[in-house]
Chain A
Amino acid sequence: MTNILDDYALMSPLRHRNNWLKLAIVLFGLLVGVSSTSPVPPLFIALCMSFTTVALGRAPLKLYLKLLLAPVGFAVVGILIIAFFSGSGQELLSFKLVGYPLSVRKDGLELALLVLARSISGMCCLYFLALTTPMIELFAVLKASRFPEAFIELSMLIYRYIFVFLDMALSIRYAQTVRLGYSSFSRSLRSLGMLGSTLFVRSWEQGDKLFLAMNSRCYDGKMTLFEVKRPVGTSELLLTSAYFLLTLALLYLTKNASIV
């Protein structure tokens, strides 16, 4: 079953790298992307992150592009509006649409490009995290950041049982489909309702069983989380530092530059 992001993250070779390093890289990328005034550094970040995710993290390129398409679609619609309706200065392009004058100005275009670059870099950073760090690695991070224990325990159990219930829901849905439960709209609604109520009852029962299972292994109200020690390697450190320095230099150089 490889159809959710977490599954790709589980299989990624970067999964076994230090989680804090990955988090630092992502945070750095987000901050620099947002604080940059030129579209160049965010684009550089986006490129680096994409390369890392696809080449080092072995995320399938096709999947990665597909994932990017959704936010990029939104961003493009947004920047079209920004480009046409904001800014002042030199007029770069103008035409009439159904008798209404439309024009792209210098400032507007620059702002539009910046917004596009920022949103892409942000998405790339987040996808890097999502595609290389599965949920199960983040529990240790949550613990180290002093999240309440009960919260972490609950999230661990919830994570596990999401998949149990997902399987259950799929098999119930299948059982309903083969008996024509989704053949018309009203029937679909009724079947969906039954699916929901059955799942609720099942999850209730599962809770009982879970308590039993935990009790029979001497549960005393505390679930210990075992962290795996993953020291940061020299090569990773060098690569990350180089990336940070390069990005900062780029940020500094493009401070007042204009590309249009």
Chain B
Amino acid sequence: MIILETRGLKYAYPDGTVAVQDLNLEIKKGKKVAFVGQNGSGKSTLFLLLNGTLKPNQGEVLFHGVPFKYDSKSLRDIRKSVGIVFQNSDDQIFAPTVYQDVAFGPANLGYSKERVDTCVQQALEYVGLSRLKDKPPHHLSGGQKKRVAIAGIMAMEPEVIILDEPLSNLDPAGADEIMELLNEFNHFGSTIIISTHDVDLAYRWSDYVFLLSNSKIIGQGTPADVFKDTELLKKTGLRQPTTLEIYNEIERRGLASGGNSPKTIPELVNTLKPIDLMWVDVPPRVREGDNLNLGVMYGQYATQSPYEAINATVLHIHPDGRAIVELKRKGIKAGGVLIYDTDNYSLPEIKQILKEGEIVFVGAMGKKSKILAEQDGVRLDVSSGVIDKTILMALCGKRCLILTAGGMVDHAFKRIKEYVETSGIEFTVGVVSREEGCQWLEQTKDSSETLKI
């Protein structure tokens, strides 16, 4: 379903500078969309047009298929539904305290005092700033200010959240937190639109990418398609994402194969193998293209984990009965990932899981879980890029625990599950559920099953 759409959009500033011209785009509901382009390519102006703050000279913007009207009541509805977070938080936060600033939007929507209060508390809880609600903005760090700005928009419960350069001036940890937050909103159904000139971010994070150059859209599509086109990227003055560039180089040298535009480091690592060919003796009835089960191998034949179940596809059969097969290996004794929902948090339980599950690697996602872990002295091995790093650890046969809450539980589970399915490397992944007790040790051996704990 298309939520935002523009048709023949043109906007020039009063001094004649054309900021956006002939823009036709469609943004689907529930997607993570990135606008990528150099500085001055018209991203910020486009965003102000999408929110109704600027009125186009030509063309129209449509929300749920209905063209924007620019009378004050329609504008109010649009601005409630399409929230915008500015690049510089100081431009956006104008109230003397955090609470007052977040309450500004809901109060303008005419909510009752109690409802405003619930909205604000929820938004602040969400971004992990409840404890700072009475602070003045000038006592906050850059990352905290950004989160206040996001909470201010969140509190109005918009369907679309637009963020102009959300990661500018943030340190890596702060940037990870913001992106995690955005993923969480998206998980609950919000459409997220960001602008960035960080190609790595756009490539890794988004579902759909628009390339902007000189106030026009010169390319769009899934990140894998858009960033494959080096000619197009050259035109916009951007470079290829690092993971993609590395992959292209190692593929050219025959060191990797089979990866279809790896986005994350685990995906990249997974491509790091040349095509695995072997001579085998085959029974006479086997044809080319058949699948063979070669059984379990170990020792020098198992290259990726101690024991491997190997399937093979027959590529070519020699007249003397020997055949060339392509091997597909499945590790049997890899590690596992356990996800713990901190909404029902208890420290003794975590300690028990850590001990009985022989967990060597702990990560936390989301501000709330990180604060909990910090308070109770649970040692965190990783607090940013958690999913990727736990996958990498699990691949090395380690057992990992992820502490997280709310929608992030499903999100993490889905991501890891997807990885297991697409890579063919099996390791256990499961969500801690209390009803069935803690039986993770016995069940790790049937590694292909999803672990029930």
Decide yes or no: A226 and B116 within 8 Å by CB, A10-B135, A163-B136 being known contacts.
Answer: yes
Q: Are A209 and B91 in contact (CB under 8 A)?
A: yes
Our pick among B48, B80, B94 for the contact of A160 (Cβ within 8 Å) is B94
Q: Give the interface segment out of B104-112, B399-407, B444-452.
A: B104-112
Q: Does A157 contact B (CB under 8 A)?
A: yes
Our pick among A7, A16, A160, A164 for the contact of B95 (Cβ within 8 Å) is A160
A-chain residues with CB within 8 Å of residue B48 when the two chains form the complex: 212
Which chain B residues in 83-135 approach chain A with CB under 8 Å? 83-84, 86, 88, 90-97, 99-100, 103-105, 107-109, 113, 116-117, 134-135
Q: Are A217 and B100 in contact (CB under 8 A)?
A: no
Which chain B residues in 303-358 approach chain A with CB under 8 Å? none
Q: Are A220 and B138 in contact (CB under 8 A)?
A: no
Roughly how many angstroms separate A228 CA and B96 CA in the complex, as a whole number? 14
Roughly how many angstroms separate A157 CA and B93 CA in the complex, as a whole number? 10
Our pick among A16, A136, A220 for the contact of B97 (Cβ within 8 Å) is A136
Q: Does B79 contact A (CB under 8 A)?
A: yes
A-chain residues with CB within 8 Å of residue B103 when the two chains form the complex: 224, 226
Q: Are B107 and A161 in contact (CB under 8 A)?
A: no
Q: Does A74 contact B (CB under 8 A)?
A: no
Which chain A residues in 119-144 approach chain B with CB under 8 Å? 134-136, 139
Q: Does B434 contact A (CB under 8 A)?
A: no
- What is the chain B residue whose CB lies nearest that of A218? B108
Q: Does B30 contact A (CB under 8 A)?
A: no
B-chain residues with CB within 8 Å of residue A10 when the two chains form the complex: 135-136, 139
Q: Does A223 contact B (CB under 8 A)?
A: yes
Q: Does B53 contact A (CB under 8 A)?
A: yes
Decide yes or no: A213 and B86 within 8 Å by CB, A136-B96, A156-B95, A218-B80 being known contacts.
Answer: yes
B-chain residues with CB within 8 Å of residue A164 when the two chains form the complex: 90, 138
- What is the chain A residue whose CB lies nearest that of B88? A209
Main secondary structure of the interface of B (DSSP, over half): helix
Q: Does B56 contact A (CB under 8 A)?
A: no
B75 CB to closest chain A CB (Å) equals: 8
Q: Are B84 and A219 in contact (CB under 8 A)?
A: no
A-chain residues with CB within 8 Å of residue B94 when the two chains form the complex: 157, 160-161, 210, 213-214
Which chain B residues in 142-188 approach chain A with CB under 8 Å? 152-153, 156
Q: Does B223 contact A (CB under 8 A)?
A: no
A-chain residues with CB within 8 Å of residue B109 when the two chains form the complex: 218
- What is the chain A residue whose CB lies nearest that of B77? A218
B-chain residues with CB within 8 Å of residue A159 when the two chains form the complex: 96, 136
B315 CB to closest chain A CB (Å) equals: 60
Q: Does A216 contact B (CB under 8 A)?
A: yes
Q: Does A70 contact B (CB under 8 A)?
A: no
Chain A, interface residues (CB within 8 Å), range: 20 to 34
Q: Does A239 contact B (CB under 8 A)?
A: no
Decide yes or no: A160 and B91 within 8 Å by CB, A136-B96, A216-B53 being known contacts.
Answer: no
A-chain residues with CB within 8 Å of residue B95 when the two chains form the complex: 156, 160, 223
Roughly how many angstroms separate A10 CA and B138 CA in the complex, as a whole number? 11
Roughly how many angstroms separate A167 CA and B137 CA in the complex, as a whole number? 13
Q: Does A206 contact B (CB under 8 A)?
A: yes
Q: Does B51 contact A (CB under 8 A)?
A: yes
Roughly how many angstroms separate A220 CA and B99 CA in the complex, as a whole number? 19
Interface centre among A10, A16, A161 (most CB of B within 10 A): A10
Q: Does A93 contact B (CB under 8 A)?
A: no
B377 CB to closest chain A CB (Å) equals: 26
Roughly how many angstroms separate A220 CA and B76 CA in the complex, as a whole number? 9
Q: Does A215 contact B (CB under 8 A)?
A: yes
A-chain residues with CB within 8 Å of residue B53 when the two chains form the complex: 212, 215-216
B96 CB to closest chain A CB (Å) equals: 4
- What is the chain B residue whose CB lies nearest that of A214? B94
Our pick among A135, A139, A213 for the contact of B91 (Cβ within 8 Å) is A213
Our pick among A134, A217, A223 for the contact of B152 (Cβ within 8 Å) is A217
Q: Does A178 contact B (CB under 8 A)?
A: no
Q: Are B96 and A156 in contact (CB under 8 A)?
A: yes
Q: Are A217 and B79 in contact (CB under 8 A)?
A: yes
B158 CB to closest chain A CB (Å) equals: 10
Roughly how many angstroms separate A164 CA and B139 CA in the complex, as a whole number? 11
A-chain residues with CB within 8 Å of residue B99 when the two chains form the complex: 226
B-chain residues with CB within 8 Å of residue A218 when the two chains form the complex: 76, 79-80, 105, 108-109, 156
Can you report 22 A-B residue pairs in the complex whose CB atoms are below 8 A from each other?
A1-B139, A10-B135, A135-B96, A136-B96, A136-B136, A156-B95, A156-B96, A161-B94, A164-B90, A206-B91, A210-B91, A210-B94, A213-B86, A216-B53, A216-B84, A217-B83, A217-B104, A217-B153, A223-B104, A225-B100, A226-B100, A226-B116
Given A136-B100, A217-B104; 14 other pairs, CB 8 A cutoff: A10-B135, A16-B134, A136-B97, A160-B137, A213-B86, A217-B83, A217-B108, A217-B153, A218-B79, A218-B80, A220-B76, A223-B107, A224-B107, A224-B108
